[in-house]
Amino acid sequence: MSRIERGVAVASLFTAMTTTAAPTITKIAELTAPPLAEVSGIARSSYPDVYWVHNDSGDDARIFAIDRSGATIVPPYLASQFVDKPWPGIAIRNAWNIDWEDITLDDGVLYIAEMGNNGNARRDLGVYVVMEPNPRATAEIRALTYLAVVYPDQDAYPGGRWEFDCEAIFADRGKLYFLTKHRKPGEITGWAAATSLYRLDTRYTDRQNTIFDRPKEGDDWLKGAPIVIPIDRELIPIAEALTWRDESTLLIANEGRGLFELKL
């Protein structure tokens, strides 16, 4: 896995966009399901008004389907079993959540990023590949595979540069892209001002996949002039997950159970 380009972390998500008015952020829901205590990834489903979410490090290997009201979707045939206890989500039986940081959907396939690397020393990073389940008919699934990945420019564990902690992934035209956050050496918390962008071109399952470092024309997502959108940390503390609702609206989930809508 290799670096394509650096840029401003927050702004990189809005590189190709223009806006004529200041964006507005509104809290639209509260995630009341007890297990959803630390959401770190959200992706719009192919099922209408459904979004896939997962928790951060240390949780069970599972995903939850929610709607825009924040309600957790439970398969109807199981609903009577979870009247007095929380729905535990859709279990992924051959996976482990060491530090899940994001999720994305591409052509009916979910990709879950086991990419958290706060200590800058992990050598088992990768992505779980899962066929998207029917949220109203599924209680447990299996991952198709695990794609182990490695940064081509990290040569020590921990590395001297604290730039190998991926917090966001997305998919485009069958390729997976990874955005890392940069920190000062040894710093675990705090705001990072820059990011590196990597792309995965191979799908080996018996060895590590090195992220591609030769961007093709039209592949420089951080090339354009960015639009910076300030976010009030008191309104949205610890925001770790976002996805597109439509072409002009983002949904943001934070680790405080909030679900927010950002109109661009």
Q: What is the pLDDT, as a whole number, of residue 138?
A: 98
Q: What is the pLDDT, as a whole number, of residue 106?
A: 96
Structure tokens at 64: 């939850």
Q: What is the pLDDT, as a whole number, of residue 9?
A: 33
Q: What is the pLDDT, as a whole number, of residue 18?
A: 41
The DSSP element (H or E) to which 128 belongs, if any, is: strand 126-131
pLDDT(221) > 60 = yes
Domain 3-263 belongs in CATH node 2.120.10: yes
Phi, psi torsion values for 149, nearest 5 degrees: -130, 160
pLDDT(214) > 70 = no
pLDDT in tens, 113-142: 999 999 999 999 999 999 999 999 999 999
Q: Comparing 61 with 210, which gets the higher pLDDT? A: 61
Least confident of 24-28, 71-75, 106-110, 222-226: 222-226
pLDDT in tens, 172-211: 888 999 999 888 776 665 544 588 899 998 898 888 888 8
**What's this model's pTM, rounded to 2 decimal places?**
0.88
How far is C-alpha 158 from the chain's CA centre? 23
CA dihedral 93, 96, 101, 107 (to 10 degrees): -30
Q: What is the pLDDT, as a whole number, of residue 76?
A: 97
Calculate what percentage of the chain has a pLDDT beyond 90: 62
Can you tell me whether residue 82 is helix, strand or coil?
helix
pLDDT in tens, 68-114: 999 999 999 999 999 999 999 999 999 999 999 999 999 999 999 99
Q: Residue 180 is which amino acid?
A: T
Average pLDDT over residues 216-230: 74
pLDDT(55) > 70 = yes
Instruction: Please provide the size of the chain in residues.
Output: 264
pLDDT(13) > 70 = no
Separation of first and last alpha carbons in the chain? 32
For residue 184, give every residue at least 6 positions away whose Cβ sits within 8 Å of its Cβ, in sequence order, or none: 162, 190
pLDDT(65) > 80 = yes
